[in-house]
Chain A
Amino acid sequence: MTLLKSLMGAAAAMALSAGAALAEPALIFDLGGKFDKSFNEAAFTGAQRWADETGGSFREIELQSEAQREQALRRFAEAGANPIITMGFAMADPLSNVAPDYPDTKFVVVDVTWIKGDNIRQLGFAEHEGSYLVGMLAAMASKSGTVGFIGGMDVPLIRHFGCGYAQGVKAVNPDAKIIANMTGTTPAAWNDPVKGSELTKAQISQGADVIYAAAGGTGVGVLQTAADEGILSIGVDSNQNHLHPGKVLTSMLKRVDVAVYDAMKAGNDVEPGVFVLGLAEDGVGYALDDNNAALITPEMKAAADSARDKIISGDIKVTSYYENDSCPVLDF
C-alpha cells in the first residue's frame, strides 16, 4: 500500500512538473525502427528539423514488440507529453483505447484514418497517387516491358502502394507485365534483406528491369541487389536515391517528415480530425535530385508532371485499393 502511495505521489509530482514546464512532444516509432531509411526515419527527420529550428526537445521511443504500444502511449501521456505522435497502422487499436482517457492530450497518428476520437489528428497519405507517378516512370524507364513490385508485410497498406504503382505502369504501357511479390506475412518481413535480395533476383529472372520496393528494411536488400545486377530500383517513403547513386530510378516520397514537423510546430494547438495528404497537398510525390537526374529524361519528367496535374484536377482517377479491397489491374 505504501509502495502504491509513493508511486502515485511520484506520478502526481511528474504530472505537475510536466504541466509547469512547456509540454514536450513525444514520438513513438513503429517496429521497423527509427533508422529504417524509410518511413520511421522520415518521421525522425521531421522531428529533428523541428528541434533544430526551435531549440526544443522531444521524447521518443522505438517499439520493440506489439505489447509495448499501449504502454508507451500511456507513459508519455502520464508524463505530460503533448502532442504524442505515433507511427503506423498498427497503432490504431491501442490509440483508440488510450486516447479517451487523456482528453487534454493531443494525439497524432500517421497512416490511420478510421478511428474515433476528438483529440486525435489522423493523417493518411494518398500513397496510390505517388505510386502511380513512380509506376509511370518505371514503365517509361523499362526496356523489357516487365517491371516488379516487392512489398514488405502483406497488409492492405502495401497492396495500396502496389495497386497505384500498377495503374501508373499500365497508363504508360497497357501491355506491360507487373510482377508483384510480398516478403512475408509477419513483422519480420520488414527486416529481412536476404529475402529481399532473393525476390529481386527472382523477378530479374522473370524479366523485370525496374523494381519498386515498399518494404522497409527489406528494401535495402532489394536496392542493393538491383544495383549489383545492373537494373533500376525505386525507393520508398524517404528519398533513397543516394543509397546507390545512378542506380535508383527515383523514390516515392511520402512526406511523413513534413507531417511530423507541422504537428510538432503546432504543439498543443494541433488540429484534430482526419486529413489525407495527396499530390495536391504535396504529401506524396517522387524524388528528383542529382543522384537520379541522368535517369529521368525531360520527356519522363514532363509526362509525370502532367499526370500529377491531371490527378490533382481530377482528370485522372487513381483507384484506391481500399475502395473495394481489390486492385483493378493487379492480382496479389
Chain B
Amino acid sequence: MMDLMTLIPVLDSTIRLSTPLLLACLAGLFSERAGVFDIGLEGKMLMAAFFSAAIASVTGSVWLGLLAGIASSMVLAGLHGLASITFRGNQLISGVAINFLAAGITVLIAQHWFHQGGRTPSLIGAGRFSPIELPLAGPLSGVPVLGPVYSDLLSGHSVLVYIAFLAVPATWWVLYRTRFGLRLRAVGENPAAVDTSGVSVVGMRYAAVAICGLLCGIAGAYLATALQAGFVKDMTAGRGFIALAALIFAKWRPWHAMWACLLFGFLQAVALRYQNIDIGGVVIPVQVMDALPYILTVVILAGFVGKAIPPRAGGEPYVKER
C-alpha cells in the first residue's frame, strides 16, 4: 500500500501534468458549448508555447511572454472562427489545418529568429514563472498529514496552476449563473432560438472562440515558461488531444472536466513513476497507462458508462436564412 510520502510526489506531479490539460479542456468547453468543435487545441497551445518562450527570452519578462502567447493563440482562434463561423467551413478541417499550421510555423520562425534549430534559448531568471509558496507553507509543514499535503502538494506551484484551478469555478459560474453563459449554451443547442430573441449568434460564437484562444494561450505558456524553460518543437506532444478526450469524458461540464483532467494527469504521473505495475501477479505495461485516457473516452462514447451527448448544434455552422 502506498503511504503518504510516496503518494504526495505522485499527486504533486499529477497537478503539474493536469494543469495544461485542464486549461485546454476548459478552452474546448467554451468553444464546443457554443457549437464550434475545436480539434485545434493542440495547435493553439503549441503556438502559444512558442511565442511565450520567444518573447520571454527576448524581453526577459515572463509576463510579456504570457501576453504574447495568449495573443498568438487568439489569432489562431480568430482564424478558426473566420473559417468556421463567418465562412461556414467544416470546423474539424479548420482545426486540423490549425494543428498543422502551428507545428510548421513555430519551428520555422524559431529557426529564423534564434538559429538554434527550431528551439528558443533557455529562459533564465524573470523569463520563467517560478514556484510560489502559499502563506504559512513553511511553519505548517510539521503538522501531520495535513502539513505535507498543504506545503508539498498544494504550495509551490507556479501562478498559472492556481489560475487554471480557479478557472474551473469561474467557468461554472459564467456558464450557469450569467446571462452570457445562458446565451452561450443556447447558441450551442439551438442557435435559431437565440437568433429569434435578438442575440447575435455569430457574436456569441466569436466570443466563445476568443475565450478558447485565451485559455489555450495560458496552457501553452504554462508548458514553455513554467514547466520548461523554453520551447522545443512539438513540445505539446498530443496534450491537446488528451484534453479533448477529457472534455468528452467530462460530458462538457466544468467540474467534471477538472476531475477528468486530474484523472488523466494522475494516469500519466503513475505511468512515469512506475514503468510496469504489478497488480496481484498481473503486470500492466506502461503503454496501457499511456493509452488508458483514450480507452476510457471510447468507453464513455460507446455509452457503457452513461451517455455523452455533445451540444446539439455542435459542428453545424449557423445559417440564418435557408
Residues of B within 8 A of A221 (CB): 228
Residues of A within 8 A of B119 (CB): 35, 220
The proximity string for A residues 203-226 relative to B, scoring 1 for CB distances below 8 Å and 0 otherwise, is 001000000000001001100100
B287 located at the interface, meaning its Cβ lies under 8 Å from any Cβ of chain A in the complex = yes
Pairwise interchain contact A193-B228, C-beta atoms closer than 8 A: yes
A194 touching B237 in the complex, CB below 8 Å, given contacts A181-B275, A184-B290? yes
Shortest CB–CB separation between residue B69 and chain A, in angstroms?
16
Measured CB to CB, the nearest residue on chain B to A183 is B272
Measured CB to CB, the nearest residue on chain B to A191 is B234
Measured CB to CB, the nearest residue on chain B to A224 is B229
Pairwise interchain contact B232-A224, C-beta atoms closer than 8 A: no
Shortest CB–CB separation between residue A230 and chain B, in angstroms?
14
Interface size on A, residues (CB 8 A): 27
Measured CB to CB, the nearest residue on chain B to A221 is B228
Residues of A within 8 A of B287 (CB): 185
> Can you pick out 7 interface pairs between chain A and chain B where the beta carbons lie within 8 Å of each other?
A181-B272, A188-B238, A191-B232, A191-B233, A192-B237, A198-B16, A224-B122
B223 located at the interface, meaning its Cβ lies under 8 Å from any Cβ of chain A in the complex = yes
Cα-based distance from A194 to B223 in the complex (angstroms): 8
Shortest CB–CB separation between residue B116 and chain A, in angstroms?
6
Pairwise interchain contact B17-A198, C-beta atoms closer than 8 A: yes
Measured CB to CB, the nearest residue on chain B to A184 is B290
Pairwise interchain contact A36-B275, C-beta atoms closer than 8 A: no
Known: A217-B232, A220-B119, A220-B232. 14 other contacts (CB 8 A): A33-B117, A188-B237, A191-B233, A193-B228, A194-B17, A194-B227, A194-B228, A201-B12, A201-B13, A202-B9, A202-B13, A202-B272, A221-B228, A224-B228
Measured CB to CB, the nearest residue on chain A to B17 is A198
Pairwise interchain contact A243-B117, C-beta atoms closer than 8 A: no
A197 touching B235 in the complex, CB below 8 Å, given contacts A35-B117, A184-B290? no
A contacts with B: majority SS: helix
The proximity string for B residues 261-305 relative to A, scoring 1 for CB distances below 8 Å and 0 otherwise, is 000000011001101000000000011001000000000000000
A182 touching B275 in the complex, CB below 8 Å, given contacts A191-B235, A193-B235? yes
Shortest CB–CB separation between residue B237 and chain A, in angstroms?
5
Cα-based distance from A243 to B117 in the complex (angstroms): 15
Cα-based distance from A40 to B225 in the complex (angstroms): 26
Cα-based distance from A217 to B234 in the complex (angstroms): 11
B118 located at the interface, meaning its Cβ lies under 8 Å from any Cβ of chain A in the complex = yes
A49 located at the interface, meaning its Cβ lies under 8 Å from any Cβ of chain B in the complex = no
Cα-based distance from A224 to B230 in the complex (angstroms): 10
Pairwise interchain contact B116-A35, C-beta atoms closer than 8 A: yes
CB contact list, A217-254 vs B, under 8 A: 217, 220-221, 224, 228, 243
Interface size on B, residues (CB 8 A): 29
Residues of A within 8 A of B232 (CB): 191, 193, 217, 220
Residues of A within 8 A of B229 (CB): 224, 228
The proximity string for B residues 102-123 relative to A, scoring 1 for CB distances below 8 Å and 0 otherwise, is 0000000000000011110010
Measured CB to CB, the nearest residue on chain B to A202 is B273
Cα-based distance from A198 to B235 in the complex (angstroms): 14
Q: Which of A34, A195, A243 contacts B272 (CB 8 A)?
A: A195
Measured CB to CB, the nearest residue on chain B to A228 is B229
A41 located at the interface, meaning its Cβ lies under 8 Å from any Cβ of chain B in the complex = yes
A201 touching B275 in the complex, CB below 8 Å, given contacts A35-B118, A191-B232, A224-B228? no
Pairwise interchain contact A198-B118, C-beta atoms closer than 8 A: no
Shortest CB–CB separation between residue B75 and chain A, in angstroms?
24
Q: Which of A33, A192, A201, A228 contacts B118 (CB 8 A)?
A: A33
A199 touching B272 in the complex, CB below 8 Å, given contacts A185-B287, A188-B238, A191-B235? yes
Shortest CB–CB separation between residue B168 and chain A, in angstroms?
22
Shortest CB–CB separation between residue A323 and chain B, in angstroms?
23
Measured CB to CB, the nearest residue on chain B to A243 is B122
Measured CB to CB, the nearest residue on chain A to B5 is A205
Pairwise interchain contact B117-A197, C-beta atoms closer than 8 A: no
Cα-based distance from A33 to B234 in the complex (angstroms): 12
Cα-based distance from A194 to B235 in the complex (angstroms): 8
Cα-based distance from A221 to B122 in the complex (angstroms): 10
Pairwise interchain contact A198-B13, C-beta atoms closer than 8 A: yes
Residues of A within 8 A of B272 (CB): 181, 195, 198-199, 202
Cα-based distance from A205 to B272 in the complex (angstroms): 13
Pairwise interchain contact B228-A197, C-beta atoms closer than 8 A: yes
Shortest CB–CB separation between residue A69 and chain B, in angstroms?
19
Shortest CB–CB separation between residue B58 and chain A, in angstroms?
19
Residues of B within 8 A of A34 (CB): 117
Cα-based distance from A185 to B286 in the complex (angstroms): 9
Shortest CB–CB separation between residue A189 and chain B, in angstroms?
9
Shortest CB–CB separation between residue A40 and chain B, in angstroms?
9
A198 touching B233 in the complex, CB below 8 Å, given contacts A35-B117, A182-B275, A221-B228? no
Cα-based distance from A170 to B272 in the complex (angstroms): 25
Shortest CB–CB separation between residue B176 and chain A, in angstroms?
33
CB contact list, B198-231 vs A, under 8 A: 223, 227-230
